[in-house]
Amino acid sequence: MNDASYPDWTDGTLPTRLHFAAAPNESAELWLDRLVGQYGQCPPETADALICLGGDGFMLETLHTTLGRRLPVYGVNCGTVGFLMNPAVPDNLPQRLAAAQAATLHPLRMKATTRGGECIHALALNDVFLFRQTRQAAKIRIEVDDRVRMPELICDGVLIATPAGSTAYNLSAHGPIVPLSANLLPLTPISAFRPRRWRGALLPSTARVRFDILETDKRPVAAVADFTEVRDVVSVEISEARELHTTVLFDPGQSLSERIIAEQFTA
């Protein structure tokens, strides 16, 4: 394990205090019974590592609970895609954890202001996206670091992704995949109408982005940060929460950085 903020298990000690969390599906619950019977169930407050049994969605939920906590997460794929997970073969689990490669993830911080004046804050490890609520296309002004970069984007929506989230919705919207070490945030339009050929931008991770919704009465827009949805927004401010992080563990040769690179060569 190579994250300096966590115990170095290369000295021969093994992480034996494990906490298991399972998604509500049959496969994950079967693995939970087996692994708890084999290794026991340690409270998360005193655990060396958290073992997440499920798919990418449940993994994302679990990672949100560990933000700001000194508790690395090792995912076991009991779902479909499993981009953030390890293969469901967790034999010799303490040894696998000790040999794991760590990836440190920082979330995006969203502040959404509604038409009623309410300010709602949320964190996103994947992305923050805006999307039209009705048949009318959205009209959005984009400001970066207090400078208007696009006076009017007519679109279905727009998103900002983390590097880890760049292979998710961002990729489906034809945005670029970003390596973890790049310190970049992809900003990608969703079905842009005007300017029609604008494909988005790569922003430094220090950028402060603000979206202002134009014609809010006629063209209402919702904002989503991972699991938090806010409807009828008038403005959304986004920046990276560098002071917060969570750590994900991967088997050797299966690091998140390697998966992000490999994804770029997938047909």
Q: Annotation-wise, does 172 bind a ligand? A: yes
Q: Annotation-wise, does 183 bind a ligand? A: no
Element containing residue 50 per DSSP (H, E): strand 49-54
- Counting Cα atoms < 13 Å in the Cβ hemisphere of 253 gives 2
The whole-angstrom separation of Cα 84 and Cα 250 is 8
DSSP state of 177: P
Q: Rounded to whole angstroms, what are the CA distances from 50 to 97, 103, 237, 248?
A: 10, 15, 32, 10
Q: Annotation-wise, does 145 bind a ligand? A: no
Contact 111, 258 (CB under 8 A): no
Structure tokens at 52: 């997440």
Q: Annotation-wise, does 170 bind a ligand? A: yes
Structure tokens at 32: 């939970």
Catalytic site residue 56?
yes
Q: Annotation-wise, does 207 bind a ligand? A: no
How many C-beta atoms lie closer than 10 Å to residue 253's C-beta?
7
The whole-angstrom separation of Cα 41 and Cα 18 is 6
Q: Which of 56, 212, 232, 251 is catalytic?
A: 56
Q: Annotation-wise, does 126 bind a ligand? A: yes
Q: Annotation-wise, does 168 bind a ligand? A: yes
Q: Annotation-wise, does 56 bind a ligand? A: yes
> Which residues, 6+ apart, have CB-to-CB distance to 247 below 8 Å?
3, 5, 6, 66, 72, 73, 102, 103, 104, 105
189, β-bridge pairs? 158
Q: Annotation-wise, does 146 bind a ligand? A: no
The whole-angstrom separation of Cα 94 and Cα 13 is 9
Going by their DSSP bridges, the two strands 101-105 and 246-250 should be labelled as antiparallel
Counts for the chain of helices (H) and strands (E), in that order: 5, 17
Q: Annotation-wise, does 77 bind a ligand? A: no
Binding-site annotation: residue ranges for NAD(+) = 56-57, 126-127, 156, 164, 167-172
Binding-site annotation: residue ranges = 56-57, 126-127, 156, 164, 167-172
Show which residues are catalytic.
56
